[in-house]
Structure 1
Amino acid sequence: MSKSLAIKSLITPSSSRTSLKLAPLAIRSFASSSRCRIATSSAASVGIRLGRGVELRKKDGGLGGIRQQRRTMFIQTETTPNEASLKFIPGVPVTNGGTHEFLDLRSALSSPLATRLLGVDGVTGIFFGPDFVTCSKDDSYNWSILKPEIFAILMEHFSSGASLFKEGHSADQAEDTKILDTDSEIVGMIKELLETRVRPAIQEDGGDIEYKGFEEDTGIVKLKLKGSCRGCSSSSVTLKNGIERMLMHYVPEVQSVEQVLDEEELIALEEFSKLEARLEKEKKGGKPEYV
């Protein structure tokens, strides 16, 4: 039996979303989730078909009046391992299976919804998953202040049936774990494990991973963390105790997993290291330094 066939027999279907036992990805109970019920009435337009939830009724053989029905939409929120990120579940599909991340208004120009959400004071990042939207905030803001406006924007968008992206842009399936004809057997197995075992579990926590390559001479798999996993204090534990252990178990050629950081993240880490060094120096009795 070839190695690729052997690995397929060990991999459960992608629909088994809770099969991956990653250390920091604890199974959540519904006690930690909140469900917000938002009700609106459709009075935005007038016509023969006045939008969803509005009916015309006949009276004496003609149009005798308009009966307006209330339309309700349920948006569920779930906490994530990252306290600065919250997962919003509108109960309808968000993308076509792919994921998209927006960290500033320039990157969000292709999506009207992402642009509106990033326009909320305190919101620093937006992540679209297959059936959820993860919002990340600045540490100086509280979710109790941000959630009402985020709820309103999400409800308006998904109840209107508006497109997630502007014309010419799409929310296609993820391509990073697509097995190519040019991939080696090892890379194919790594991609298959990431797609069927790792990605579903990571998305349960409002994030995602992106495969960035495999160095065959060193055995290093490079991954990029997105969504709620970005900047999460437990991300290193997820990589080492969860993803790395599983890949090394099924693919002996894998020696370690490393996180790929964006330029902005590298700058932030460098500034944080400088701050830590300055505070440590002051703690030991040195003169305060100011920048």
Structure 2
Amino acid sequence: MESFKIKIQPTNQPSIIKFEANKFLTRKQNYEFKNVDEAKNSPLAKQLFYLPFTKTVYISGNFVAIERYDIVEWPDVQNEVAQQIENYLNSGEPVIIEDENTPSKVPVTVYAESTPNPAALKFVSNKKLVLSTYEFKNIDEAKNSPLATCLFHFPFVKEVFMDENYISILKYDMAEWDDIVAELREYIRSYIEEGKEIVSENAEAASPSEQNKATNNKSVATENLDDTSKEIINILEEYVKPAVASDGGNILFQSYDEDSKTVSVILQGACSGCPSSTFTLKNGIENMLKSMLDGKVNEVVAING
């Protein structure tokens, strides 16, 4: 089982800092504790109040946020606090002790959003669903995702793609969206509301944050890449991925050939097989890389994930 790792994330309020975990801490609700008495059902929050500078503790999704008193500055103590939270989580002790007042269901809204790919629809939730990107081409690949496995039992579901707070579904031509969208939306909403597991810890992320995945499923560590490849990855992450994600898809760097100056990328989710993806690739991504990496890129080619 993967151990907990904590990443420190500043916020727009200098007194508050977030400690993000690589796994969910709670799915049912958000918690705010203003003192040690209020934290009686959270052993973790209770422990954090033993720190003299802790003013408020927030626990939500995959992070703990702490508001501090002015007696310290975060740079002086944040590493020690991160280590304390990480040690606690890896001890196996509970984050929240549920009681009869803990709701059994999570209020959830899900809406369907069109994508440039007519075969794909994006189902967006008001809750964070996953912490990494996942792509499932068939029910065998979905064995470590209970939700994706259930979705594949619908005969018209061809592929399932998950990222943050949305699920993209690619359908077979046997059904029209107008006939199936309401059924899928309600099924996904009810599934999330009941707090069921979406992906297991054994599920393999399609795009780990520290590594870039090639089509043969062998990971390529960024530190082993040449400088141009690293520049390309940074541009894709900063400028391309947010736009692609808004369309229900994902883009991954695969390789860069220095001799031909060709960049190969992998398209996933709604972008995979999308009729407009070639236009976007040539007139958007390729032109951007040519402009930002003068003389280093001649062509961008895509492989559907």
TM-score range, shorter chain: 0.5 to 0.7
User: Quick check: 1:116–1:153 contact (8 Å CA) kept in 2?
Assistant: no
Q: Structure 2 stretches of 5 or more lacking a match?
A: 1-97, 214-219
Alpha carbons of structure 1 residues 128 and 104: separation in structure 2 relative to 1, 3 Å = same
Instruction: Give CA-to-partner distance per residue, 1:141-160, whole Å, 9 cap, x none.
Output: 11122223312321122112
The one-letter code matched in structure 1 to 2:212 is D
Structure number, greater radius of gyration: 1
Tell me the residue number matched to 1:186: 228
Partner of residue 101 from structure 1, selected from 135, 141, 153 = 135
Q: Structure 1 stretches of 5 or more lacking a match?
A: 1-46, 55-70, 263-291
Establish whether residue 85 from structure 1 lines up as the match of residue 85 from structure 2. no
Q: Using the aligned pairs only, state the percent identity.
A: 29
Establish whether residue 145 from structure 1 lines up as the match of residue 196 from structure 2. no
Instruction: Give CA-to-partner distance per residue, 1:178-214, whole Å, 9 cap, x none.
Output: 9722222211110100111111110000001111100
Q: By how many angstroms is 1:167 displaced?
A: 4.0
Instruction: For residue 186 of structure 2, give the secondary structure of its aligned residue in structure 1.
Output: helix
Partner of residue 299 from structure 2, selected from 256, 265, 287 = 256
Tell me the residue number matched to 2:12: none
- Determine which structure has greater relative contact order: mean sequence separation of CA pairs < 8 Å that are 6+ residues apart, divided by chain length: 1
Tell me the residue number matched to 1:27: none
Instruction: Give CA-to-partner distance per residue, 1:162-185, whole Å, 9 cap, x none.
Output: 232224336574431897222222
Provide runs of 4+ in structure 1 moved above 4 Å: none
Alpha carbons of structure 1 residues 197 and 113: separation in structure 2 relative to 1, 3 Å = same
Partners of 1:145 and 1:90 in 2: CA distance: 21
User: Quick check: 2:273–2:304 contact (8 Å CA) kept in 1?
Assistant: no
Partners of 1:112 and 1:226 in 2: CA distance: 20
The one-letter code matched in structure 2 to 1:210 is L
Partners of 1:82 and 1:169 in 2: CA distance: 26
Partners of 2:180 and 2:288 in 1: CA distance: 37
Q: By how many angstroms is 1:226 displaced?
A: 0.7
The one-letter code matched in structure 2 to 1:225 is L
Q: By how many angstroms is 1:74 displaced?
A: 1.6
TM-score of the superposed pair, with normalisation by structure 2: 0.60
Partners of 1:254 and 1:50 in 2: CA distance: 59
Alpha carbons of structure 1 residues 106 and 170: separation in structure 2 relative to 1, 3 Å = closer
Partner of residue 100 from structure 2, selected from 36, 40, 49 = 49
The one-letter code matched in structure 2 to 1:49 is E
Instruction: Give CA-to-partner distance per residue, 1:118-154, whole Å, 9 cap, x none.
Output: 1112111111011110011112311122223312321
Partners of 1:186 and 1:80 in 2: CA distance: 31
Alpha carbons of structure 1 residues 179 and 245: separation in structure 2 relative to 1, 3 Å = farther
Instruction: For residue 275 of structure 2, give the secondary structure of its aligned residue in structure 1.
Output: coil
User: Quick check: 1:104–1:124 contact (8 Å CA) kept in 2?
Assistant: yes
Partner of residue 176 from structure 1, selected from 206, 209, 212 = 212
Q: By how many angstroms is 1:85 displaced?
A: 0.6
Partners of 2:223 and 2:125 in 1: CA distance: 38
Partners of 1:222 and 1:259 in 2: CA distance: 6
Instruction: Give CA-to-partner distance per residue, 1:86-133, whole Å, 9 cap, x none.
Output: 11101111221x211111111111100001111112111111011110
Partner of residue 198 from structure 1, selected from 234, 240, 256 = 240
Instruction: For residue 222 of structure 2, give the secondary structure of its aligned residue in structure 1.
Output: coil
Establish whether residue 235 from structure 1 lines up as the match of residue 271 from structure 2. no
Residue range with higher mean Cα deviation, 170-179 or 193-202: 170-179
Partners of 2:144 and 2:280 in 1: CA distance: 31
Instruction: For residue 162 of structure 1, give the secondary structure of its aligned residue in structure 2.
Output: coil
Partner of residue 252 from structure 2, selected from 210, 229, 241 = 210
User: Quick check: 1:120–1:149 contact (8 Å CA) kept in 2?
Assistant: no
Alpha carbons of structure 1 residues 126 and 222: separation in structure 2 relative to 1, 3 Å = same
Partners of 1:198 and 1:261 in 2: CA distance: 16
TM-score of the superposed pair, with normalisation by structure 1: 0.63
